[in-house]
Amino acid sequence: MAQKYGPMMYLKLGEVPYIIVSSPEIAKEIMKTHDLSFCDRPSLMLPTIFSYNGTDILYSRYGEPWRQLRKICGTELLSPKRVQSFRSIREEEVGDLVKSIAASEESVVNLSHKISDMTHAFVARAAFGKRIKHQQAFRSAIDEISILLGGFCIADLYPSIKMLQSMSMAKTKFEKLHKEVDVIMQDVVDDHRSVHRNVSKDEDIVDALLQIQRESEQSQHPVTDINIKSIILDMFSAGSETSSGFMGWCISEIIKNPKVMEEAQAEVRRVYDKKGYVDETELHQLIYLKCVIKETLRLHPHAPLLLPRECRERCQISGYDIPAKAMVLINAWAIGRDPRYWVDAESFKPERFLNSTIDFKGTDFEFIPFGAGRRICPGIGFVVAIIELTLAQLLYHFNWKLPNDMKNEELDMTESPGVTVTRKHDLCLIPIIRRL
């Protein structure tokens, strides 16, 4: 549609005006020049329940409470220092993944499931420390919540017809799931509060949030238990399935492109063969692997339309009047394939990023898989660390084959529908141990 109707489209879906932006130039106007006018999120039915009525980071409206939580996120919860403090957990969880794959050598492994279990376990340990009671119930509820959040809600398109909300089966189901995870998370928070732990040593995110809560008691916006639970929920929703879904694409592209596999494996093995195992110390030397990650983010941005923004005040973009309250979707998927910026845009060519300064940190508007501006994803460092380590280990320890003598080019790359886009079908591969 963007190719046919241009880089800025107006669509009226139900009662709601939508602006869809598909060029780097207009994305820059929205997320840089006029960022303050577009840094709100709309109040949608399920995200409102999810976020305890907009008291989280992901879905809350722009304002002082959001600013405060966002600051805590940047300086405390997802800071480079904190990400570094999770190194041993990352190495253990990825090590367990390698062991469990090795145990199924030469047979078909559902890699999508295994990586998803690993990222969930990693986020859970970073957030809660030890294993929690009702781990399985928590995981299933979170998975169902993510599926519902990624879906389509007719009530959001007709906000004036309140009856649609009360009739929504998705809403009833969502409220029940939310209640379940709320009870489990409150239990975790109470448990952390009651036990005198040696937090300076193994501080997890709940410990850090409780400390911030104690320090904020006298402030204008004290951090509440609800804030703590909503931030934790954000981390699972925004951080777990996104990381595993993304790795599914990355490995699929590597398998589909044997030359990329060859080059990526050669690099990892050259760097780590002397040591005999992969840890984080030498990851910075994996230049080609970093290009593979960038190229996957270009072609498969996990949230192809980012997250919806709402226009806070009437303003002019590219000569057009944008009304207040209009919903704005930034088409990062189309932007990443814009032939004006990307040579041979549809092909997977990691080397395009070699000797290039283009990065995904929100300043190069032709490449914005994590968004940009005030609402840019704060989890970039957290996710890149786990992705690099996992891919490096999988490439170092194993060679990979497709099942049923399938040819590389036959690997199915169909996308699942939804706000976030993962592989429609699980990625199943045969591992052959090269070195353990």
The reply on whether position 291 binds ligand HEM by CB under 6 A is no
Stretch that binds ligand HEM, among 2-10, 137-145, 201-209, 239-247 (CB under 6 A): 239-247
The reply on whether position 306 binds ligand HEM by CB under 6 A is yes
106 HSE (CA, 13 A, CB side): 0
Tokens of 351: 């080397």
Binds ligand HEM by CB under 6 A, chosen from 47, 239, 350, 431:
239
Q: 134, exposed or middle or buried, with CB in 10 Å at 0-12, 13-18, 19+? A: middle
The reply on whether position 57 binds ligand HEM by CB under 6 A is yes
Token pair 């910026």 is at which residue? 341
The reply on whether position 334 binds ligand HEM by CB under 6 A is no
The reply on whether position 235 binds ligand HEM by CB under 6 A is yes
Q: How near is the Cβ of 246 to ligand HEM at its closest, in Å?
A: 4
The reply on whether position 360 binds ligand HEM by CB under 6 A is no
Q: How near is the Cβ of 389 to ligand HEM at its closest, in Å?
A: 14
C-alpha 296/C-alpha 221 separation (Å) is 40
Residues 374-403 that bind ligand HEM (CB under 6 A): 375-379, 382-383
Nearer to ligand HEM, 114 or 302 (CB): 302
The reply on whether position 304 binds ligand HEM by CB under 6 A is no
Of 63, 67, 144, nearest to 310 by C-alpha is 63
C-alpha 30/C-alpha 287 separation (Å) is 32
The reply on whether position 371 binds ligand HEM by CB under 6 A is yes
Nearer to ligand HEM, 112 or 242 (CB): 242
Q: How near is the Cβ of 60 to ligand HEM at its closest, in Å?
A: 8
Q: Which residues are annotated as a binding site for heme?
A: 377
Q: How many residues make contact with ligand HEM (CB under 6 A)?
A: 26
The reply on whether position 46 binds ligand HEM by CB under 6 A is no
The reply on whether position 246 binds ligand HEM by CB under 6 A is yes
The reply on whether position 370 binds ligand HEM by CB under 6 A is yes
Nearer to ligand HEM, 50 or 382 (CB): 382
Binds ligand HEM by CB under 6 A, chosen from 243, 252, 265, 393:
243
Nearer to ligand HEM, 295 or 431 (CB): 295
Q: Interface residues with ligand HEM (CB under 6 A)?
A: 57-58, 70, 78, 234-235, 238-239, 242-243, 246, 302-303, 306-307, 369-372, 375-379, 382-383
